[in-house]
Amino acid sequence: MPQRAKISVIGAGNVGATCAHWAAAKELGDIVVLDIPDKEGVAKGKMLDLACCGPIERFDSAIVGTSDYKDIAGSDVVIITAGIPRKPGMSRDDLIETNVKIVRSVSQKVAEFAPDSKVIVVSNPLDAMVYTAWKATGFPTNRIMGQAGALDVARFRTFIAWEIGCSVEDVSALLLGGHGDDMVPLPRCTSVHGIPVTDLLPQATIDACVERAKKGGGEVVQLMGTSAWYAPASGTIQMAEAIIKDKKRIIPSAAYCDGQFGAKGLFVGVPALLGADGVEKVVEFKLDAEEQKLFDESASHVQDLVGTVVKMFPDLA
């Protein structure tokens, strides 16, 4: 029988545990969730609880909680969720110094114990953390990516569907740029079962959906005092499934650009073709002048974040 795929999640908090939940529900493979020794009991307890869902939800996965990096050996995909979450009043950028230290340390361990894995980073500020993971692992750029666009597009599609009163499954959309308030939704690339959204909603309503998608994470933080976890985890597992099953899905992801859309040497949100080799291609298309201006501004902010990382931690240059 073919060997099952292996997914390892670093961080047993809300996002990490929910990644394991979605991966188990989709029966993507065996699952390891790792946290620091002080939180090993949390990782083990959550994964024991999840494993006991198997008979009811009908999945056969080996599910392990641990604090030992040896347990991630042989992983096909490693998901990094470790880091402190946002609190009310904090921007994603406020997290940078603490989370760079965490993600750098985790990434070095991933390189040591799962050197052939593809890595999906979820920790914030996302674009800077993907860069950190790339430098700390030394992995080729196709095997490092960040989850942001899958979440941002899901939020945008949800809000559009609510306004129209249609199924979220019938809404197709795209966003570009960094993860945060300067992401670039593209209404002209948004449709409802092939019908341009501009034919179905007034521009003011579309603009309101764009703004809500941009600030969707902050809205959740304000409502409950901490970062979202269901949708970020769902977007992450959508990416992991595309890699594990070699589906060749085009999913907006923080991927390395070497000139695409005018961005060079940056991990930034673009349409990425995900398959067995990780990011197999950045799917480029022509932006209009206003879209290009917004993308350039977003990429510039990502560049500034990377500059902050390098200034704080010269070893990541």
CB 33 within 8 A of CB 66: yes
Please state, in angstroms and rounded to a whole number, the distance separating the CA atoms of residues 314 and 112.
21
DSSP 31: E
Hey, what are 91's tokens?
């921007």
**189 — alpha (psi -120 to 50), left (phi > 0) or beta?**
alpha
Q: Residue 33: what residue type? A: V
CA distances from 96 to 2, 158, 278 (A): 41, 29, 26
Annotated active-site residue 179? The verdict is yes
Which of 21, 179, 193, 301 is flagged as catalytic? 179
Q: The tokens of 203 are what?
A: 């521009």
What does the DSSP 8-state code read for residue 103? H
Q: What is the 3-state secondary structure (H, E, C) of 166-222?
A: CCHHHEECCEEECCCCCCEECHHHCEECCEEHHHCCCHHHHHHHHHHHHCHHHHHHH
Query: Distance from first CA to last CA of the chain, Å, rounded?
Result: 44
- Could you tell me which residues are beta bridge partners of residue 282? 272
Degrees to nearest 5, angle at CA 17 with 116 and 147:
55
Residue 262 to residue 269: CA distance in whole angstroms: 13
Longest distance between any two alpha carbons in the chain, whole Å: 55
- The answer to whether 73 and 47 have CB atoms below 8 angstroms apart is no
115 prior amide bond cis, ω within 30 = no
Residues belonging to the active site: 179
